[in-house]
Structure formats: structure tokens, C-alpha cells
Structure 1
């Protein structure tokens, strides 16, 4: 079994389907595929209503995978600008709200960092 995680492939899902039809236990399937028992268990919980079908499981995986996107991080220049406003006397929440309105977007806010900067400026 691998120490790092890899997503199941369509061929692995087909193998799971075949081995289940043959009456194999999850632990046997995991051993044959070189996967963790918990990987097989989660796969079956997610995608098996009554019968596990590899093609529908894989298309469901692909559909959900498309929705996964990395959350954009605050660029260093923008972070510096916001931090400076907090040091100059702005409340962290207010700085975040103004920036969000100006950018006309939802912004990921490192609230904890601002609180630390704000406290250092006040103490």
C-alpha cells in the first residue's frame, strides 16, 4: 500500500465491482488492489446504493472533482496593504469588509494574522 494518496482510477473501480460480484470481502479487495481497507470502505459508502457500479461511481467522482478548486490566497502586496491599515488604526473586520466591497468579491481573510497585527499595534 502506498504512503501517499492517489485517487481511484476507473479500472480500479471496475476491479472493485468485479471482486464484489465474486463475493470478496473489502479487506481482500483492498489487498488485491494495494489499497487501504478504509479507501475501499469509503468508496462503497459514497457510491453504492444497492449495487456498486464502477461507471456511475467514476462519473460521480469526476462531477464532484470538477467542483473542487483551490481557494485563492491573498497576494503579498494586498496582505501588506491590509496589515498597514490595521496598524494605522483600522479594525480588522472593517478593513476586510472595505476590501471586499472595493474588489466586489468574496475575499479569503486571514483573520488571526490581522488580530495579531492589531494587538501588537495597540499594546
Structure 2
């Protein structure tokens, strides 16, 4: 049976669930997306800056996965998290944080890495 990656990706984006025969050795296969609520414009935009740790962690009885780690400061907002069961699992990017979508060209990358590789 030939699998079409485009169809699998369309299904994943539409439902937030993975269809796989192997399981991909993941802790969860469902709940990867969050439905953007249109209560108001700012609430709608906030959904595109959200980071969800995964539905698997909602079943854990520990608070360790909900805590903001020191290396996340400046990237994840320590205040913007909902109350209740998703507290600490559904976070948002900090105000000044943005996801880089451009890949630097090879010349810039080589110039940056050359001193580090020579050492």
C-alpha cells in the first residue's frame, strides 16, 4: 500500500491526529492542534503564539512538566497560561519572542561557523 504524504499531512492539519501503522514511538497520536477561538480579535491572534506540551501530559499527576524551566525564560511567557487542568501545559510565546522562518544563506552560515570549527 502506497501512502501519500500530502494526504497524511492534510489529515493531520485538519484533525490534529496522526494516522500511522508503526506508532512512530510517540507518547500520543491525537490532540496536536488547538482550535482557534474567535471570541475576539486578540484571543484569535493569541492562539497562533500558543505552545502546547501535549495531551499526554494532562494525565500525569506531577507538577514538574507544568513548571517554567530556567532555559525557557524570555521565550515562554510566565503569566499567559490558562487556569485549571491545562495550566502550565498550554503556554504562549513571550512578547518579544518570534519563530524564525528564514534560513540564513550558506555564506553567512559558513562565516558564523568557521571560527567555532577552527577551535
TM-score by length of 2: 0.24
In the superposition, the TM-score normalised over structure 1's length comes to 0.23
Q: Which has the higher contact order (CA 8 A, sep 6+)?
A: 1
Q: Larger radius of gyration, structure 1 or 2? A: 1
User: Larger % of helix: which?
Assistant: 1
